[in-house]
Amino acid sequence: MRIMPRILVFYYSRTGRTEKMANAVAEGAKTGGNIEVALEYHIPAEDLGTFDAIIVGAPTYHHEMPFGIKQLFEDAAEKAVNLRGKPGAAFGSFGWSGEAPKLVLEIMKNKFEMQVTEPPLLVRDEPNQVNLKACQNLGKRISEILIREA
């Protein structure tokens, strides 16, 4: 019996904008095939390694990623969570600058040696229907990568 590939959509959202994006990413990931999708606001660092792909939603606050996301990556590194070669992607909303998703991809790529989808998906202010469709497409793209590799 084959186990379904698992995708984690992990996000932080203070205003609800990145949460809307995360829901659309998860929805898109489910359309890519036989995929289990977990949509999480909080997850222990050691659980990251149980997923086959990770998509992170990180809004930008004062040119930085949220503390909880930064802490998750620091804890995962401290616990030597192995993410090498796993697909990864990032998205997020912003008001002024949009650095957080770019920083997330750099960590995924350089610290954890993940295979990231670039560029990150950035949405200024409130996501509209076009933006949410792009979020769905991002989720679907990652699930299709997993299906091809399975």
Domain ranges of the chain: 6-149
Q: Would you say the pTM of this structure is higher than 0.75?
A: yes
Residue 107 scores a pLDDT above 80: yes
Residue 54 CA to residue 150 CA, distance in Å, equals: 16
**Taking the CA atoms of the chain, what radius of gyration do you get in angstroms?**
14
The domain covering 6-149 belongs, at the CATH homologous superfamily level, to Flavodoxin domain (3.40.50.360)
Identity at 150, one-letter amino acid code: A
Identity at 3, one-letter amino acid code: I
- At residue 33 the predicted structure's pLDDT band, cuts being 50, 70 and 90, is confident
Tokens of 48: 């990251």
Residue 91 CA, distance from chain mean position: 7
Give me the percent of the chain exceeding a pLDDT of 70: 99
Average pLDDT, the chain: 95
